[in-house]
Chains A and B, each alone.
Chain A
C-alpha cells in the first residue's frame, strides 16, 4: 500500500492539472457549478494522494533510516529536455522531509480554500475560470516543491509566477487589479532573471542540475574559486549562490522587492489566502532550504539571507501598524513572518568562536516548522478577512467594528489565529517562533535575535489592533448582516484546529527529521541550551502588545489613537507611506526606463537608424534625378553638354600639371 502511493505519486500533480484542463477547455463555460464541484473533488483526490505519499514516505524512508541516511527518495523520473549528450534535464518527484511537508500543506490548504471559494466566489462571472486557475496553481506549486533538480524548479517557479499574475488580475476589468498583477509579475520576473543566470552558471560549472549533486560537499569545493572576467575576480560559489537566492528574494518578497505583495491583495481573497500567504510566497524560503547545504558553504550568502530576512521582519511589522486595509495589514504581516523564516535559515550559521563553528541545525528545522504553522494560521486569517469583506463589502478596518456578534465562528477562529501569530503559548505560532528565536540565540546572532523578539511584540500589537477594530467597539452596521456562509465558515473552523494544536504536536517531528542536509553541522553539545527566560520574555512582550492594542483600540474609544496620529512627525509619514519605496520604483520604471532609455531608443531607431536608410534612398534618388536630367532627349542639351566638355578638356589640357 505504501509503495503503491509512492509509485503513483505523480497523481498528486495530475489531478489538479486534469481539473485545469477539463474546466479551462470545456466545463467552465458549460456548467459553472459542476466546474466548481469537479475542482473541489479533484483537489480532494490530490489531497488523498498527498497524504498517501506522506504515509508511503514514512513507511519506506523514515522508518528505515539505515537504508536512507539522507532521507531522500526520488520517484517517477523521466528525461525531459536533452540539452546536449552530457546534459539532460530530468523531471521527477523528490521526496524528503521538507517536500513532503509542503505537499501536505499545499494539498490540505488547497482543498479547504477550494471549498471556501465555492461560497466566496458564488455568483461571480468568472466562477469556472477561477477554479481552473486555482487548480493550475496547485499543479504548479506541487511541481515546484517536488522538483528533483533546479531546472525543474525554475520551470514550475515561473508557472506559479504566472498563475499568481492571472489570479491577481482575476477581475481584469478593475484597473487596480490589473496594475497589481503587472507589478507582481514584473518584479518577480526581474528576480527570476538572476535566478536563471545562477542556474545556467552552476549548470555549466557542475555539469548537472540535480539537487543531490548541487548539494554534495564536492560541489562547494569545485565552485569555491575565483571566476575571472577581464581581471575582475569574483568568488564563484558566493556569486552563484547569491544569484540563485535572488529568485527567492523576489518570490518571497524580501525587502526591497517586497512591494508587489501588498498590492497583490487586489486579487480575490481565497487567492491571497493560498498563494500570497500560505504557499507560493514561501517558495523563496523553500528554495533557500532546498539549496541549503550549498548555501551553507558560503558565509557571505548566509549573512545576506539573514540580514535581508531580519530587516524585512521588522520593517514590515512596523508598516503593518499604520495600514487600514485589512488585507494589506495581513500582507505586511506575511512579509514579516517570511522574514522570520528567512533569517532563521541565515542565522543558522554559528558565529565563529574557538569552541563552536559550523551550522546550527535548529535554524533550518525551525524555519521549516514556521512555514508549516504559519501556513495554517495565516490562511485562516485571510479566509476570515475574506468572510468579513464578503459580509460587509469593505476592506477598511476603520469602517468595521462590533462584528463579534454577527460572525461568531469567524470571531473565535480569528482570535485563535491572532494568538497564534503573536506567539502566545500554547498556540501553533508559539512553538515555531520560539525555535527560531532560540536558533538565532544559540548561533550567537544577538542583533537578529533582538530584532525577532522586538518584532514579535509589534506583531501582537498590529494583529490585535486589527482584531479589536474589526470585532470589538461600536457596530457601525445598523442593518441586519447576513449570516455566515456555511461553506466558508466550514473551512475557517477546520483551519482553527491546526492553528491551535499544530505546533505542540508536530514539534517532535520537526526536530527529529528536519535536520538531514547538515553537512557542516555544529556540535550540538557545545551550543547553549534552551533558557526558560526566552519564551517567557517573548510571551510577555506579546501580551504587552495585546494590552496596548486593547487600550488603544479595544475599548471603543479611539481618542488616544487620534492623539497619537495627530502629531504626524516625519517618522509617521515615512511609515504610513511605506518609506516611499513604491514611489521610488515608479520613478525608476517610468522616469528612467520609460523616459530615459526606451523613449530615446525609439527616437534613435526611427530617426538615426531608419533615417540612415532613408538617406541612402534619398541619395540614390538624387543621383537618379541628376542622371535623368542629362538624358532628357533634347538635342540642344546634348550639344551644349558636348560643347562644355570640349572646353573643359581644352582648359584641362592647358593646365601646367
Chain B
C-alpha cells in the first residue's frame, strides 16, 4: 500500500467501523465494543506504519531540501468540484503525522476506557467513530474546503455525545459548547472564503495559498477571524467557557478525545491556517493575542485553584495548558513553534490520562468532589499513582512529557526580543508555581490523607482499565525521558512554516 492510500484508509477506517456497528443488535454490547476496539487498534497500527514510513522518507530527504516551502509526503490531489477548484488534496508533514499518532493513541485508549459503558452503546460508538474520522480528516487535508468539512464533522457529534451520555447539566453544556464552536466555524469560513476570492487563483490549496501575500486590508481582519475561530476550540480566553462545562458533563471517552485531541484541532488550525496563510496579519495582531494567551495561562491556573470538582480542575488546567500551545505559536520563533507542537502532543496524552483516571475513579466513588474523597492511595494504588504521574506531567516535572514541551516553549518565547514577549514569558514561567498548587492540592485531597470509611471496599483498576492507563503513562514517560524521536519527526516541518511566518 503506498503512502497516500494509507492516508485515505486512516481517515476512512473509523467511518467504516461506524458503519460496521450499524447492523449489530443493540443488546450485543460486547461485539460493538470489540468492533470499535479492533477498528481503532488496526488504525493505530496503520498510523504507526505511516509514521515509520514517514521517518524513513524524512531521513532520506534530509539533505538538500528546500526549507522555504512546506514539503508534503504521501500526497494525493484529486479534483472534487473542479468548477470551484475544490479538491481532495491530502498529504502529511511532520506535524500532521504526530497529530495522527496522538489521535490514534487517544481513541484506542478511549475505547478501552469506555468498556463499562452500558446505555445505548451502539449509538455511542458510532458517533465516537464518526468524530474520530473527522479529526483524522482534518489532519491530512491540505485543501481548506475539505479541511473545514472534516472539522465540522469532528465538532458536531460532540453535541449528541455530551447531550445524551453526559452527566450533570448536560443539555446546557452540550448546547453551549456546540453553539460557541459553530460561531467559531462561521468566523473560520468567512476567513477561508475571503482568501479564496482574494488570492486571485480561486484556490483552496493551502500550499498554493501560502505563497500568496494577501493584501493587508484582508489580513487585518482575516487573521483575527481565523485565529479566534480556531482559538475558540483551543480554549482562547475569553472564549473558553464552553470547556469547563463541556468537559465536566462529557462521558469519559468523550472528555479524553475532546481535551486530548479536539482542542488540538484549534492549535493546529491556528498554526496551519491562520498563521501560515496570513503571516503579516499575525505580525499585526501578535501582541494583542499574546496578552490574551498569557491571561489564558495564568487565569486558567488560578481558576483551577479554587475548583473542587476533579473534572473542573482538569478543564481549567487544560485552558491553561492549551494557552501554552497558542503562546508557543505566538512566539513566532522556530523554537516556540516546535514547543507548541510538542505541547499539543504532551497535553493530549496528559489530559487523556487525566480524564480516563477521573472516569475510573468516579465510577467507583460516585463523586468527583475532592473534599469527599481522601486516602484513595490505600484502596486503589494503581489509579492513584497514575493520577500523581498525570499531575506531575501537568506541573511540568522533568522526565515527563510536559517539561520538554514547556521548557521549549519558554526558551522559544524568550528568544523573541520584543519586550512584551519577554514580560509574558516571565509571567508564563511563574505560572508553573500555580500549577503546582492546584495539582498538589487536588492530589492531597483526593489521593492522600485518611481514607474515607465509605470507600473501604473499593477495588483497584481491572485489567481492561489498566491497559489504557499503562499505555498513556508509558508514552508520557517515554516522551519525557527520550524526547529525541518526537523532535526528529517535527523538525523538518517546523522550518518552512517559520520561514513563511517570519517572511
Binding site for B on A (CB under 8 A): 79-84, 87, 151, 154-156, 158-159, 162, 165-166, 169, 172-173, 175, 178-179, 181-182, 185-186, 189-190, 193, 196-197, 200-201, 203-204, 229-230, 593-594, 597-599, 601-602, 605, 609-610, 612-613, 617
> Do residues A87 and B411 form an inter-chain contact, with CB atoms below 8 A?
yes
> Do residues B241 and A609 form an inter-chain contact, with CB atoms below 8 A?
yes
Cα–Cα, bound, A362→B291 (Å): 49
Note all chain A residues with C-beta closer than 8 A to B303. Answer: 598, 601-602, 605
Cα–Cα, bound, A594→B306 (Å): 7
Q: Which of A79, A156, A186 contacts B440 (CB 8 A)?
A: A186
Which 5 A-B pairs give the minimum distances between C-beta atoms?
A: A155-B398, A610-B241, A598-B305, A172-B448, A178-B448
15 contacts between A and B (CB under 8 A): A81-B483, A81-B484, A151-B407, A159-B398, A169-B444, A173-B375, A173-B450, A186-B436, A189-B432, A197-B430, A200-B414, A598-B306, A602-B306, A610-B245, A617-B179
Note all chain B residues with C-beta closer than 8 A to A598. Answer: 302-303, 305-306
Note all chain B residues with C-beta closer than 8 A to A190. Answer: 433
Note all chain A residues with C-beta closer than 8 A to B487. Answer: 81-82
> Do residues A601 and B302 form an inter-chain contact, with CB atoms below 8 A?
yes
> Do residues B306 and A599 form an inter-chain contact, with CB atoms below 8 A?
yes
Task: List 7 additional A-B contacts (Cβ < 8 Å) besides A81-B487, A186-B440, A609-B237.
Answer: A82-B487, A162-B397, A173-B375, A204-B411, A602-B303, A610-B241, A613-B176
> Do residues B180 and A162 form an inter-chain contact, with CB atoms below 8 A?
no
Cα–Cα, bound, A252→B410 (Å): 26
> Do residues B302 and A155 form an inter-chain contact, with CB atoms below 8 A?
no
Q: Which of B419, B436, B450 contacts A189 (CB 8 A)?
A: B436
> Do residues A204 and B415 form an inter-chain contact, with CB atoms below 8 A?
yes
Given contacts A182-B440, A186-B437, A602-B306, contact A83 B408 (CB under 8 A): yes
B168 contacts the other chain (CB 8 A): no
Note all chain A residues with C-beta closer than 8 A to B414. Answer: 200-201, 204
Note all chain A residues with C-beta closer than 8 A to B392. Answer: 162
What's the minimum C-beta distance from A79 to chain B, rounded to whole angstroms? Answer: 7
Cα–Cα, bound, A594→B303 (Å): 10
> Do residues B411 and A203 form an inter-chain contact, with CB atoms below 8 A?
yes
Note all chain A residues with C-beta closer than 8 A to B436. Answer: 185-186, 189
> Do residues A196 and B437 form an inter-chain contact, with CB atoms below 8 A?
no
> Do residues B299 and A601 form an inter-chain contact, with CB atoms below 8 A?
yes
B451 contacts the other chain (CB 8 A): yes
> Do residues B180 and A613 form an inter-chain contact, with CB atoms below 8 A?
yes
What's the minimum C-beta distance from A495 to chain B, rounded to whole angstroms? Answer: 31
B29 contacts the other chain (CB 8 A): no
0/1 interface trace, chain B 389-433, chain A, CB 8 Å (1 if under): 000100101110001100110110011000100110110011011
Interface centre among A154, A196, A230, A593 (most CB of B within 10 A): A196
> Do residues B411 and A83 form an inter-chain contact, with CB atoms below 8 A?
yes
What's the minimum C-beta distance from A599 to chain B, rounded to whole angstroms? Answer: 6
Cα–Cα, bound, A158→B432 (Å): 12
> Do residues A229 and B179 form an inter-chain contact, with CB atoms below 8 A?
no
> Do residues B419 and A182 form an inter-chain contact, with CB atoms below 8 A?
no
Given contacts A81-B484, A189-B433, contact A182 B398 (CB under 8 A): no
0/1 interface trace, chain B 8-21, chain A, CB 8 Å (1 if under): 00000000000000
What's the minimum C-beta distance from A608 to chain B, rounded to whole angstroms? Answer: 9
> Do residues A172 and B241 form an inter-chain contact, with CB atoms below 8 A?
no
> Do residues A159 and B399 form an inter-chain contact, with CB atoms below 8 A?
yes
B307 contacts the other chain (CB 8 A): yes
Cα–Cα, bound, A169→B449 (Å): 9
What's the minimum C-beta distance from B25 to chain A, rounded to whole angstroms? Answer: 40
Interface centre among A173, A185, A197, A605 (most CB of B within 10 A): A605
B441 contacts the other chain (CB 8 A): yes
Note all chain A residues with C-beta closer than 8 A to B364. Answer: none
What's the minimum C-beta distance from A153 to chain B, rounded to whole angstroms? Answer: 10
Cα–Cα, bound, A359→B466 (Å): 58
What residue in chain B is nearest A89 (Cβ atoms)?
B407
What's the minimum C-beta distance from B453 to chain A, rounded to whole angstroms? Answer: 13
Given contacts A182-B444, A193-B430, contact A84 B334 (CB under 8 A): yes
Given contacts A83-B408, A598-B302, A609-B241, contact A193 B433 (CB under 8 A): yes
What's the minimum C-beta distance from B481 to chain A, rounded to whole angstroms? Answer: 9
What's the minimum C-beta distance from B442 to chain A, rounded to whole angstroms? Answer: 11
What's the minimum C-beta distance from A75 to chain B, rounded to whole angstroms? Answer: 20
> Do residues A173 and B451 form an inter-chain contact, with CB atoms below 8 A?
yes
Note all chain A residues with C-beta closer than 8 A to B241. Answer: 605, 609-610, 613
> Do residues B423 and A229 form an inter-chain contact, with CB atoms below 8 A?
yes
Note all chain A residues with C-beta closer than 8 A to B441. Answer: 182
Note all chain A residues with C-beta closer than 8 A to B397. Answer: 158-159, 162
B297 contacts the other chain (CB 8 A): no
0/1 interface trace, chain B 210-244, chain A, CB 8 Å (1 if under): 00000000000000000000000000011011100
> Do residues A80 and B484 form an inter-chain contact, with CB atoms below 8 A?
yes
What's the minimum C-beta distance from B315 to chain A, rounded to whole angstroms? Answer: 11
B250 contacts the other chain (CB 8 A): no
Cα–Cα, bound, A204→B302 (Å): 29
What's the minimum C-beta distance from A307 to chain B, rounded to whole angstroms? Answer: 24
Q: Which of A159, A185, A229, A605 contacts B422 (CB 8 A)?
A: A229
What's the minimum C-beta distance from B303 to chain A, rounded to whole angstroms? Answer: 5
Given contacts A80-B484, A172-B448, contact A197 B335 (CB under 8 A): no
B373 contacts the other chain (CB 8 A): no
Note all chain A residues with C-beta closer than 8 A to B238. Answer: 609, 612
Cα–Cα, bound, A599→B303 (Å): 8
Cα–Cα, bound, A158→B402 (Å): 13
Note all chain A residues with C-beta closer than 8 A to B334. Answer: 84
Which residues of B (435-487) have their CB < 8 Å from a CB of A? 436-437, 440-441, 444, 447-451, 483-484, 487
> Do residues B399 and A81 form an inter-chain contact, with CB atoms below 8 A?
no
> Do residues A196 and B449 form an inter-chain contact, with CB atoms below 8 A?
no
Note all chain A residues with C-beta closer than 8 A to B245. Answer: 610
Note all chain B residues with C-beta closer than 8 A to A200. Answer: 410-411, 414, 425, 429
Which residues of B (227-278) have their CB < 8 Å from a CB of A? 237-238, 240-242, 245
Q: Which of B302, B307, B429, B448 contacts A197 (CB 8 A)?
A: B429
Note all chain B residues with C-beta closer than 8 A to A156. Answer: 398
Note all chain B residues with C-beta closer than 8 A to A172. Answer: 375, 377-378, 447-449
B491 contacts the other chain (CB 8 A): yes
Note all chain B residues with C-beta closer than 8 A to A201. Answer: 414
Which residues of B (115-172) have their CB < 8 Å from a CB of A? none
Note all chain A residues with C-beta closer than 8 A to B419. Answer: 229-230
> Do residues B399 and A155 form an inter-chain contact, with CB atoms below 8 A?
yes
Note all chain A residues with C-beta closer than 8 A to B430. Answer: 193, 197
Cα–Cα, bound, A165→B436 (Å): 12
What residue in chain A is nearest B488 (Cβ atoms)?
A82
Note all chain B residues with C-beta closer than 8 A to A165. Answer: 440
> Do residues B429 and A196 form an inter-chain contact, with CB atoms below 8 A?
yes
What's the minimum C-beta distance from A280 to chain B, rounded to whole angstroms? Answer: 16
> Do residues A173 and B449 form an inter-chain contact, with CB atoms below 8 A?
yes
What residue in chain B is nearest A232 (Cβ atoms)?
B419
Cα–Cα, bound, A201→B389 (Å): 29
Cα–Cα, bound, A186→B441 (Å): 10
What's the minimum C-beta distance from A461 to chain B, rounded to whole angstroms? Answer: 37
Cα–Cα, bound, A594→B437 (Å): 10
What residue in chain A is nearest B377 (Cβ atoms)?
A172
What's the minimum C-beta distance from A226 to chain B, rounded to whole angstroms? Answer: 14
> Do residues B448 and A169 form an inter-chain contact, with CB atoms below 8 A?
yes
